[in-house]
Structure formats: structure tokens, C-alpha cells
């Protein structure tokens, strides 16, 4: 829904800008909806949930991380991910436009305060391009 609302059709190519990793791209495929009623899902929540879906898929594809659980508010991370005995704290954000840099900086500020897991990652999805921005801490 969030990608369609931004004017994209399935499949669409997303640029991946992951600090420390070579630039790459990925096709995002979804079941197209014939209509999008903005009243059904609030604007902000739609962006957040769509960003989480894409971020979790990306992180699994990138590092084989799987979802462990949602984190409580106040842990400065949205998700706890697992890969065998390793744990990763993930903070996710989404923007409807094309520039996700400011949002990534904000999310990095949050994940920097997360002390529960040694490995931490912030991912932001900019739906306008679309683009996936990621940075490890």
C-alpha cells in the first residue's frame, strides 16, 4: 500500500545504501491493490508498518537475521532479531518522500542509546524513490 501510494507498481527496483557495503538494488514484489482507502489505515501507521516489512525482509536477506520479538518502548529499538546465538537490535523508520537521510540520522541516535544487544542496526525506507538506507553500530 505504501509503495502504491507513492506511485510505484509491482515489481519495483529499490536502491540499497548500506554503509560499509557495496551499493546494490533489489526488486520489491507485492500483490497490487485495486484501490487504497487512506481512511482504512492511518497515514503514519501505514508508512511505519510498510517500512518494517521491507526492513525485516532486507535484514534477513542481508545477514540471515530472523525476527525474535518486538521490543518494548523505552528499549530504543523496535525489534530483536536472532541468528543462532547472536542478537541484533533493529530500529526502523520510513518516509513517504525521497530523502531518508535525516530520518536515518534520527534513528541512529535512537539505536545508539540501545544497550541490550551488542549488534545494532538502523534501517530507513524512503518510499518516494524507493530506497533502503541502513547503517550498523
Partner 1 sequence: MTESLRSSATEDELDILVSVAIRRAEVLAEEGDPGTPAAWREVRLYEELLSRITAPTTVEGGVARVGAVYAALAAGDRLDAEELAEKYRAEGLTDERRARLDTILTEDFTRRGRRYRYLWQTGRLAALDDWKNKSRTETTRVFPLAA
> To the nearest whole angstrom, how small is the minimum distance from the Cβ of residue 79 to partner 1?
9
| β strands within the chain, DSSP E | 12-18, 24-28, 66-70, 79-83, 86-95, 119-126, 131-136
Task: Establish if 75 lies at the interface with partner 1 (CB under 8 A).
Answer: yes
Q: Output 3 or 71, the one with its CB closest to partner 1.
A: 71
Task: Establish if 83 lies at the interface with partner 1 (CB under 8 A).
Answer: no
Binders in 30-59 for partner 1, by CB under 8 A: 45
Task: Establish if 135 lies at the interface with partner 1 (CB under 8 A).
Answer: no
Three cell numbers written together for 123: 534501517
Cβ atoms of 103 and 91 closer than 8 Å:
no
Residue whose grid cell is 481512511: 39
Q: Output 20 or 74, the one with its CB closest to partner 1.
A: 74
List of residues 6+ apart from 80 with CB closer than 8 A: 68, 69, 70, 71, 87, 88, 89, 90, 116, 117
Task: Establish if 71 lies at the interface with partner 1 (CB under 8 A).
Answer: yes
Exactly one of 32, 33, 102, 116 binds partner 1 (CB under 8 A); which one? 116
Q: Kindly report the number of other CB atoms within 10 A of residue 10's CB atom.
A: 13
Q: Output 21 or 115, the one with its CB closest to partner 1.
A: 115
Which residue ranges make up the site for partner 1 (CB under 8 A)? 45, 67-75, 80, 87, 115-117
Amino acid at each position: 500500500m505504501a509503495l502504491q501510494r507513492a506511485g510505484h507498481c509491482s515489481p519495483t527496483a529499490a536502491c540499497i545504501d548500506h554503509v560499509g557495503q557495496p551499493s546494490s538494488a533489489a526488486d520489491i514484489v507485492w500483490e497490487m491493490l485495486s484501490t487504497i482507502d487512506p481512511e482504512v489505515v492511518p497515514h503514519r501507521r501505514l508508512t511505519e508498518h510498510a517500512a518494517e516489512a521491507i526492513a525485516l525482509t532486507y535484514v534477513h536477506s542481508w545477514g540471515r537475521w530472523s525476527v525474535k520479538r518486538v521490543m518494548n518502548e523505552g528499549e530504543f529499538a523496535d525489534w530483536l532479531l536472532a541468528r543462532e546465538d547472536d542478537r541484533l537490535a533493529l530500529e526502523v523508520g520510513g518516509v513517504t518522500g525521497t530523502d531518508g537521510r535525516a530520518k536515518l540520522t534520527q534513528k541512529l541516535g535512537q539505536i545508539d542509546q540501545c544497550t541490550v544487544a551488542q549488534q545494532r542496526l538502523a534501517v530507513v525506507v524512503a518510499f518516494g524513490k524507493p530506497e533502503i538506507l541502513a547503517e550498523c553500530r
